[in-house]
Structure 1
Amino acid sequence: MSSHISADNIKTSYLILYNVVSCAGWFYALVLILSELIQNGDFATVYDRVGWPLMIVQTGAILELVHVIFGFVRSPLLTTAFQVASRLFLVWGVVDIFPEVQPHWAFTTMTIAWSITEIIRYSYYAFNLAGFHIHALLWCRYTFFFILYPLGAGSESILVYKSLPYSGQLNVIYYWIQVVILIIYPPGFYMLYTHMIGQRKRYLGKGKDKAQKVE
């Protein structure tokens, strides 16, 4: 029994650390974006300021797949895999490969939407795992997505579309991969959006704080 409790404590402590570090990373990214916009007022320079930190913090989300596979959390594997893969594709397979799209305003709106979403999500999980169920965070987690998800997905689609001329010059196969991705974006977005609507009804539908450690 004692070894079982010890293992659970280690897992919980690790998950709290992961969520705190991830929240801090996204908060740092958001601060960089806002400070750049305030100082220069130009979307074109935002990537130069936040590009590398964004790559690090988003790549770290690969661990979330590991968490699901090993049963650390109860999030659906398909939804988690789609979200992580789509973001890694945007960060490494579009914005990093094609610097021509980096100055576009859609990069800034995408990153702002991601940052706010993740700051809320990771802080929500961290507090829940620590035993503090904050209703304000629960409400934000399952309400802000109504705006942030369309803003993020719309910005992502724009960046992929804007990169098509350059991917066509790079490799015709990669060009058509991106075309296919654009085609499957609407149903993929619908899957994630309806999942969150269902979660909102589950946690907020009866006006009660049903916060749990993990989804």
Structure 2
Amino acid sequence: MENQVKAKPKQSSSSKSTYLLAYNGISFILWSIVTLRAIVLMPALASHDKLYGLHEALFTFLRATQTLALLEVAHAALGLVRASPVTTAMQVASRLMLVWGVLTPFPEIVMTTNAFGRHQAGTTGGPVALAGCHLAWGITEMIRYGFFVWKEGISDAIPSWLMWLRYNMFFVLYPIGISSECVLMYLALEPAQDMKNGYDWLLKAVLAIYVPGSYILYTHMMAQRRKIMKGKSKAS
């Protein structure tokens, strides 16, 4: 199948398309910076048993970049994109809970906490989970925003390699991201309990809905993939 047969380059764009192109382009650049810098830093940090340094080096930038995704809920609600507002809100909320509700109040979990929740300097359970989030979130978003930049700014005919990445990489990246998020939230239970304000119960409640919530999102992405792949088969 020729993936760019009769491709029509973008010649003009409405204000909506211009805005979406700018938003997706900026988001692609921001996530590329987060991801590529993490990839560069991780080998050096790991070799010195200082993977926890990833938080100090990148967290503020990661948090700001992820928070920008709140606009995507508004995009869906206002009909600027065809995505479901509910599904979009679920995807954005889970990550915002991690960056604002877990990593911001409890940075120690990615610096000195092991995978069993014990505070002990030099362990890597939390830092490894944070690295997993960096890679899973970052690669996912680079592919997704790159896809939309191409579609809004270049041509409606998406290259086959980009289409494949967009609708297949989640099989690997989504489980890595979800498991990393769950580990970080679990590690936050102990320091949250020390606050004695019931915040640990909120985290437990969120963990309890992660399994059904993750299933809903995962099956939603699989349904999208089937729909797109089916369309490609008919077109070929």
TM normalised by structure 1 equals 0.90
2:90 to 72, 82, 86: 82
- The answer for the alignment partner of 2:100 in structure 1 is 92
Is 1:53 paired with 2:39? no
Matches within 5 A, 1:13-32: 13-32=18-37
Matched, 1:128 2:160: no
Q: What per-residue deviation string (whole Å, max 9, x for no partner) do you get for residues 89-135 of structure 1?
A: 10010011101112321011111100000000001011111224222
How much does 1:36 deviate?
Answer: 1.2
Partner AA of 2:186 in structure 1: Y
2: CA distance, partners of 1:171 / 1:23: 40
Query: 2:61, 2:227 → 1: CA distance?
Result: 34
Confirm or deny that 1:202 pairs with 2:227.
yes
Partner Cα separation in structure 2 for residue 102 and residue 24 of structure 1: 25
Following superposition, the deviation at residue 206 of structure 1 comes to 5.3
For residues 1-215 of structure 1, the aligned pairs below 5 Å read: 9-41=14-46, 42-103=50-111, 104=126, 105-130=128-153, 131-132=155-156, 133-205=158-230, 207-208=232-233
CA distances 1:141-194 after superposition (whole Å, capped 9, x unpaired): 110000100000000000000110000111442110100000000000001100
Aligned equivalents of 1:209, 1:90: Cα separation in 2: 41
Greater helix fraction, Structure 1 or Structure 2: 1
- Report percent identity of matched pairs: 36
CA distance in 1 between counterparts of 2:189 and 2:228 reads 40
RMSD of the TM alignment (CA)?
Answer: 1.5
Shift of 1:207: 4.1
Check 1:135–1:169 CA distance in 2 against 1; reply closer, same or farther (3 A cut): same
Q: CA deviation at 1:70?
A: 1.1
Aligned AA (1:125): F
Is contact 1:32-1:49 (8 Å) kept?
Answer: no
Letter in 2 for 1:189: S
- Supply the distance in 2 between the matched residues of 1:18 and 1:206 (Cα, whole angstroms): 27
TM-score normalised according to structure 2 size: 0.82
Task: Name the count of aligned residue pairs.
Answer: 203
Q: Is the 8 A contact 1:58 1:87 kept in 2?
A: yes
Ranges in structure 1 where 5+ consecutive residues have no aligned partner: 1-7, 211-215
Task: State the SS of the aligned residue for 1:205.
Answer: helix
Structure 2 Cα separation of the partners of residues 136 and 203 of structure 1? 14
Q: Which letter maps to 1:10?
A: S
5+ unaligned residues in a row in structure 2: which ranges? Answer: 1-12, 112-125
Cα pair 1:157 1:182 within 8 Å, conserved: yes
